Structure formats: structure tokens, C-alpha cells
Amino acid sequence: MEFRSRLSYIFITLLIHNAAASFYVLLSHYRINYGITEDFVAECTFERGPSTNVSKVEVLTLSRLGEFHSSYVDVATIDYVTGGLAVVVADEVAVATGSINQTGVSTLSVKWRFPQEDQVGTYKCVAQGEDQSGRPISIEDTDAATGNLPVSTDLINKIISLDGQAKRREDQLRVEIEILDRKLDIMQAVLFVSGFTFNGVQYYLSRVPFSDDKQSMAACSVYGGHLAEIDTVDEYNAIVNYLKAELGASIGGGVDGVVVSGTDEVREGVWLYHFSGKPLKFVDWYGPEPNDGVFYNCLALWRANGYKMTDFPCGNNQYNALYLCEIIP
């Protein structure tokens, strides 16, 4: 209501002086109730009129004279010369916005969340620019806000209201999380075959083809994992046994290989895991592999060779390959 009353006053003033410039500082509240008032806004506005002495505005500055201060302290400023960015210049926990329009409306607005005693005082807006003759000119306007401690009933009601809001948001967030979890479960069923567990680690084989290692790593990471890093012969044998059973049953025989973690893309011949970046702890290359040079920098378990390891293109568009993720609880 305070903000609306002030706007009505300004509008009536403009009707009386419709040919002059409109320049004012406007406060969203004239009484700040500590702990109750959620937002407090101080706004400077300048709008040129046909008969105004101000030809153009270049700088708007908002300052405040606090209850225990003897002089105004700058709060925020916006300068056309420096790019028209609103900048909070004092030690303020606030957000400043605005724009300088030399032929229209220029504004500078500063917003505080849950204002306290530091925001109480007289606010002054100064507009600096040029008059019709190109000489420097400065105009200003002031407005004031007081502050007071809320009565206990108001404070209690506010606490109850905030607690209710927090609980509603918590319930809403819980519902949104449940929806997201269901969507992730659905997407997991679309992306991956039901996997297996070895030594407490879950493994999931993709349903969708391997296209490149970055996309595969991203898909694994959504579920808290990464491309499978084979560390031991036991882990390797468990994966191979699973692939032999799975690829011969639910997917079919058209798969050439399965990509796991391993790349020498950084340095040819130096094989590292994608996720940890450490050297491979276990390898079981097929025959002369790896032998395809700089164009084959990823690692796959090749089906036709009994799932022995082979180098494989990290950006694949010629083989029918899948990829294997590992998810560590």
C-alpha cells in the first residue's frame, strides 16, 4: 500500500507538471519491520520531459544517510560511460539493476532481502548529466524509511507462516524428487540391460549403441558411475562370463564388441582409465592388439575374439558396439 500511495502521488505530480522531467526516488516501504519485511527496494527514476533543463542523464547515484551517520554514503551507481552496468558500491548485501537511456527512461534499483537497521535512513538519488547547452547539471530527490522491531505476535505469526512455507516447499520438493527418480528409473530401463554385481559393484550393459566415449561417460555418470574400469583378472572373467550369457540371450548376436574404460588419446601407447586417469591395472589384449594407431584410442572387449581386448575408435560410426558402466554404491 505504501508503494502504491507513493506512485499515486507521483502520477498526480506528473499531471500538474506534464511538460517537465520526471525524477524521483521511490521506496517500497516507509517502515521496515525487522524480521518481517521480506524485500526492501529503493529505486531512482528519471524520464525526460519536453521542457526539462536536463538534456541527457549520464550517471544515477543512490546514497543513504543512516540514523547514526552525519553524511550520505553511496549505495549504488550506474554510469552510461562505463557501459551502463548497475554496481553496488557500498558494503551492501543487495542486488542492483538499472539502465541509462539518454533519450527515454533511466532507472537504478537496489533490492535487499530481509532488511535490517542498516537499511533505515534517508535515501537520496542524484542524476548527473548535461543541460540543453551541454553544461554539467545535477538534480536530486530524497525519501526516507524508518524501522522498528515487530511486536511479539507479529513475529510469532511470521515464524509460523515461514514454517508453513518451508514445509510446503519441502513436500513439493519431495514430490519432485520422487518424479525425477521415477523418470531416471524409466530412462535406466531404456538405456541399460538389467546388470549384475561383482564384489559390491554394479555393472550395466547399454541397450543403445556406443557412439563416443564422452557420451557414454555422461550416461554412466547420471546413475553415479562411469565406464567400467577392469582392475583384476577376476573382475575381467566375471564381465566376460556375463557378456557371453547376455549377448547370446536377450540382445542377440549382432554385437561386435563392448567398450570399457581405457584410452591412449592423451599419449599414444599410454593407456589410462577414463574416470580415474590412472594407468590400466589389467590388460588381456588379443594377439597383436593394440595395433590401429592414433585413430583407435579407446578400448573394447571384442566378441569374435572371445572378448579379448582391442583398441577401438572413441568416435564410432562403423561398428555395432555397446558400452559397460560400473556403479559404485
Half-sphere exposure in the Cβ direction for 176 (13 Å, CA): 6
- For residue 88, the SS3 value is strand
**Per-residue pLDDT averaged across 70-83, rounded?**
90
Pick the closest to residue 110 from 6, 4, 26 (CA basis). 26
Is the confidence at residue 124, as pLDDT, over 90? Answer: yes
Helices 213-222, 152-191: inter-axial angle, 10-degree rounding:
130
d(CA 43, CA 301): 66
Owner of C-alpha cell 525487522 = 34
Q: Which amino acid is at 181?
A: D
Q: Are 102 and 130 in contact (CB under 8 A)?
A: no
Residue with cell 531404456: 190
Cβ(98)–Cβ(108) under 8 Å?
Answer: yes
- How far is residue 303's CA from residue 316's CA, in Å, rounded to a whole number? 16
Percent of the chain with pLDDT over 90: 50
Which domains are present in the chain?
Answer: 2-149 (2.60.40.10), 192-327 (3.10.100.10)
Half-sphere exposure of 273 (CA within 13 A, CB side): 17
What phi, psi does 221 have (nearest 5°)?
Answer: -65, -30
> Which pLDDT band, with edges at 50, 70 and 90, does 280 fall under?
very high
CA pair distance 105, 49, nearest whole angstrom: 10
Coil, helix or strand for 15?
helix
Residue 187, pLDDT > 80, answer no
Cis peptide before 290 (omega within 30 of 0): yes
Q: How far apart are CA 74 and CA 160, in angstroms?
A: 37
The label of the residue with cell 524509511 reads 145
Lowest mean pLDDT among 110-124, 248-262, 267-281, 311-325: 248-262
> Any idea which of 120-129, 143-152, 318-327 has the lowest mean pLDDT?
143-152
Cα gap 193→92, rounded to integer Å: 54
* 121 has pLDDT over 90: yes
- Each residue of 190-199: pLDDT tens digit? 788 878 999 9
